[in-house]
Structure 1
Amino acid sequence: MLASKRILLIIGGGIAAYKTLDLIRRLRERGAAVTPVLTGAAEEFVTPLSVSALAGEKVYRALFDLTDEAEMGHIQLSRSADLVVVAPATADLMGKMAAGLANDLASTLLMATDTPVLIAPAMNVRMWQHPATRRNHAQLAADGIRFIGPNEGDMACGEYGPGRMSEPLEIVAAIEAALGDGPLKGKRVLVTSGPTHEPIDPVRYIANRSSGAQGTAVARALAALGAEVVFVTGPADVPPPDGVEVVRVQSAREMDAAVDAALPVDAGVFAAAVADWRVASASDRKLKKSRDGLPVLEFAENPDILKRVSRMEAGRPPLVVGFAAETNDVIENATAKRLRKGCDWIVANDVSPATGIMGGSENAVILITGEGAEEWPRMSKEAVADRLARRIAETLVG
């Protein structure tokens, strides 16, 4: 898939630089040639020797190296690749790119290149959320720079939140998509995500603990494989991924309508935690305490989106994937759900409080298909998404 492709890999100075060693290995496994460039700060985290040994090529480090200028000037180096990848893209590198600065080899290459650029940000959560970084992110996106990540999780500094560099396989998938070689290029995929909020009155609602993290990761992974993704999301805690069509909804009925509007698609991934019930007659005014006692709420059943789409006689997606959050007898309950709904696959997990999965950064799933149950090891939600996206690609395109 990446055979004969040349990647110019600029390694920034952050703890996430160690992941680039695995990234180089993964790229070379797929037939890509990797030309590495190390910033001065990157050498504090990985050595030129280790990078060169894995890449099988010389490491470029200094802008004013006369030997390199004679052999391959920075202009030629910046334009000889099919794609420029910056990983990790630190706050400093992003700031230089956004401002058009060029005072070292890495920033000069980024200014001189006429090839596409993909960056994988990595920094402390406060740095990622800082207004200056948000401005730089917006400017780089407007300039046509592609992004992969950052992910949410534990930081080396001990804090938690968005700022972790994407995993090597996620970056590989984004590289494939950026080069137009993604296996899902030309495929349209629907992903639902997050909880739904069912109103009781204008200020109260019924909801669940879904953060939307897994659905968001799935949408990002599918887009990285080249798919055109329609992302229908309830009011999730995590922001939607870049590079997808985002449709925001609140209630199950709104999500049902948005799903209809997105069809037809080549695959539907229904990761949303849709509320089973709603208040039959939500009040248009805030309910008040009364001496007459507690208010009585009458419930109505919400539309079963997964079942309806799975059993469509016309326009059914060739692949329908549902999710099952269980607290006991996971395989038995999920297998029964797949048959009851009529979908092709069910991604099941145990969301008992002791697992820490609901709202957490990791997941442990069991893929239920017509052939049986396949247990996956516990891993990050991003890794689960990448594995699921690749299985979807294998099914749709062989």
Structure 2
Amino acid sequence: MRVVLGVGGGIAAYKVASLLRLFTEAGHDVTVIPTDAATRFVGTATWEALSGNPVSNSVWDDVDRVNHVRLGHEADLIMVAPATADVLARAAAGLADDLLTGTLLMARGPVFMAPAMHTEMWQHAATRANVETLRSRGVTVMDPASGRLTGADSGPGRLPEPADIFDAALAAVARATHGGDGALRGKRVTISAGGTREPLDPVRFLGNRSSGKQGMALAEAALAEGAEVTLVLAHAEVPAPRGCEVVRVETALELRDAVLEALPGTDVLIMAAAVADFRPAELMDTKIKKTDDGADPVITLVRNPDVLREAVLARQGMVEEGRSEPLVIAGFAAETGDATADPLTHARAKLERKGCDFLVLNVVGTGLVFGQDTNEVLILDPAGGEPVPAGGSKRAVADAVVAHVATLLPA
């Protein structure tokens, strides 16, 4: 990804060196454009050494390349950190009096700004109006952190930590790249993903074939719709998308605890993890070994908790306690069918038992769903209507599921 990193003239510019390092270490090509004031805090030699690219803040350098046009057109992301009150004002007014503001006017991709300034400046009506103007034009303006400022003062206006800016900027790129009309903007979405592992001994475990790909696609789709996403992640073969808060778990019990802990602050819960139905009754302290007498070991299994059902019951308790915002809960069912019923019949019965708002049916089997890049599902409504099919890439399925979630939320 080609990134233009604008640096405003504030004391927080020193923290942006760490932000630049995060981008370059992730393999992105970064061109730094500091303002004149920014170079009084951090010199151009630092930016050139960390980015590996030449640095200029003048429209009069490399005139033959028309840098402000070229950089604005080529950038996959233009971001400014710290975005000072002055930079915000000039960007909102559409000024183009240096290389940075000229490049901002030429932007074709997403623009992201991380403000930092004194509290009174951030709270001033002029700054607030400038921020709203930029946001109305599609610019992502991150709220500053609250904490120690220059001198002894403290309050809102502190530059967020570089890792937080990095994650939020990549989430903004994901929203711009993958589309979405912000149907989940302002909503908190918790998604469970991956396959749980139930240990037998220090070496072995009971597991399943889940790759976590569908859960990751759901997280990407929710991010693209503007949601804040918490990913409760068991074992997965693919990395979590940037922009998520990731809670790592291994067992069904750990997943249950993480989901229930996240529930009170959640607007949407999507249970896409492949949670083991059973676990060994006893965890051996040492590796189970073959015995000389040839006897086969006997492993007793016990039921794991029904996490989806517990979440539904917890929601009922929250409603009784006066929770004002509704909570949408969606489940996934992996079914094979058997001698008693087909997969759809099993899924309908599961939806009735669980009590969630809808259920996504995966028909699984050898070479189906697990580990694949494509999927075919049916979205089941508890009212008993016709199932809604969705298929194609796992991202396409995720988009369909997230779109269905949006229909269940208040406008």
Alpha-carbon deviations, 1:164-185, whole Å to 9, x = none?
xx8x996212xx5xxxxx2222
Give the match for residue 278 of structure 1: 279
Judge conservation of contact 1:345–1:370 (CA < 8 Å) in 2.
Answer: yes
Matched, 1:189 2:189: yes
Q: Give, in whole Å, the separation in 2 of the partners of 1:143 and 1:375.
A: 34
Matched, 1:171 2:189: no
Matched, 1:378 2:407: no
Mapping 1:46-65, distance limit 5 Å: none
Alpha-carbon deviations, 1:124-172, whole Å to 9, x = none?
xxxxxxxxxxxxxx999749742578xxxxxxxxxxxxxxxx8x99621
Q: Give, in whole Å, the separation in 2 of the partners of 1:295 and 1:393.
A: 50
Judge conservation of contact 1:148–1:171 (CA < 8 Å) in 2.
Answer: no
Give the counterpart of 2:406 among 378, 393, 397: 393
- CA deviation after TM superposition for structure 1 residue 342, in Å: 1.1
- When structure 1 is superposed on structure 2, of 384-393 and 334-343 the one drifting more is 384-393
Judge conservation of contact 1:230–1:244 (CA < 8 Å) in 2.
Answer: yes
- CA deviation after TM superposition for structure 1 residue 257, in Å: 0.7
Matched, 1:297 2:231: no
Give the counterpart of 1:95 among 29, 34, 42: 29
- Residue 219 of structure 2 aligns with an amino acid whose one-letter code is A
Q: Give, in whole Å, the separation in 2 of the partners of 1:277 and 1:385.
A: 27
- Residue 378 of structure 2 aligns with an amino acid whose one-letter code is I
The sequence identity of aligned pairs, in percent, is 38
- Residue 309 of structure 2 aligns with an amino acid whose one-letter code is K
Give the match for residue 380 of structure 2: 368
- Residue 282 of structure 2 aligns with an amino acid whose one-letter code is S
Give the counterpart of 2:371 among 356, 359, 381: 359
Give the match for residue 49 of structure 1: none
- Residue 361 of structure 1 aligns with an amino acid whose one-letter code is D
Matched, 1:314 2:317: yes
Judge conservation of contact 1:170–1:221 (CA < 8 Å) in 2.
Answer: no
Q: Give SS of 2:386's match.
A: strand
Matched, 1:323 2:325: no
Alpha-carbon deviations, 1:83-115, whole Å to 9, x = none?
xxxxxxxxxx94254545586654365473448
- Residue 386 of structure 1 aligns with an amino acid whose one-letter code is D
Give the match for residue 340 of structure 1: 353
CA separation of 1:106 and 1:365: change in aligned 2, threshold 3 A: farther
- CA deviation after TM superposition for structure 1 residue 245, in Å: 0.9
In the alignment, structure 2 segments of 5+ residues that lack a partner are 4-26, 32-50, 56-64, 79-99, 112-161, 320-325
CA separation of 1:395 and 1:279: change in aligned 2, threshold 3 A: same
- CA deviation after TM superposition for structure 1 residue 359, in Å: 1.0
In the alignment, structure 1 segments of 5+ residues that lack a partner are 1-9, 13-92, 120-137, 150-165, 177-181
Q: Give SS of 1:235's match.
A: coil
- When structure 1 is superposed on structure 2, of 311-320 and 297-306 the one drifting more is 311-320
Q: Give SS of 1:360's match.
A: coil
Q: Give, in whole Å, the separation in 1 of the partners of 2:176 and 2:396.
A: 8
- CA deviation after TM superposition for structure 1 residue 320, in Å: 1.0
Q: Give, in whole Å, the separation in 1 of the partners of 2:361 and 2:234.
A: 20
Q: Give, in whole Å, the separation in 2 of the partners of 1:140 and 1:268.
A: 23
Q: Give, in whole Å, the separation in 2 of the partners of 1:144 and 1:383.
A: 23
Matched, 1:146 2:170: yes
Q: Give, in whole Å, the separation in 2 of the partners of 1:94 and 1:190.
A: 29
Give the match for residue 107 of structure 1: 71
Judge conservation of contact 1:211–1:238 (CA < 8 Å) in 2.
Answer: yes
- CA deviation after TM superposition for structure 1 residue 237, in Å: 0.7
- CA deviation after TM superposition for structure 1 residue 235, in Å: 1.1
Alpha-carbon deviations, 1:188-220, whole Å to 9, x = none?
111100000000001100000000110111111
Judge conservation of contact 2:167–2:242 (CA < 8 Å) in 1.
Answer: no
- CA deviation after TM superposition for structure 1 residue 393, in Å: 1.7
Q: Give SS of 2:29's match.
A: helix
Normalised to the residue count of structure 1, the TM-score between the two structures is 0.60
Q: Give, in whole Å, the separation in 2 of the partners of 1:258 and 1:198.
A: 16
Normalised to the residue count of structure 2, the TM-score between the two structures is 0.58
RMSD between aligned residues: 3.2
Work out the number of aligned pairs and report it: 267
Q: Give, in whole Å, the separation in 1 of the partners of 2:308 and 2:298.
A: 30
Alpha-carbon deviations, 1:37-85, whole Å to 9, x = none?
xxxxxxxxxxxxxxxxxxxxxxxxxxxxxxxxxxxxxxxxxxxxxxxxx
Q: Give, in whole Å, the separation in 1 of the partners of 2:164 and 2:28.
A: 8
CA separation of 1:294 and 1:148: change in aligned 2, threshold 3 A: farther
CA separation of 1:386 and 1:100: change in aligned 2, threshold 3 A: farther
- CA deviation after TM superposition for structure 1 residue 290, in Å: 0.9
Q: Give, in whole Å, the separation in 1 of the partners of 2:379 and 2:257.
A: 28
- CA deviation after TM superposition for structure 1 residue 222, in Å: 0.8
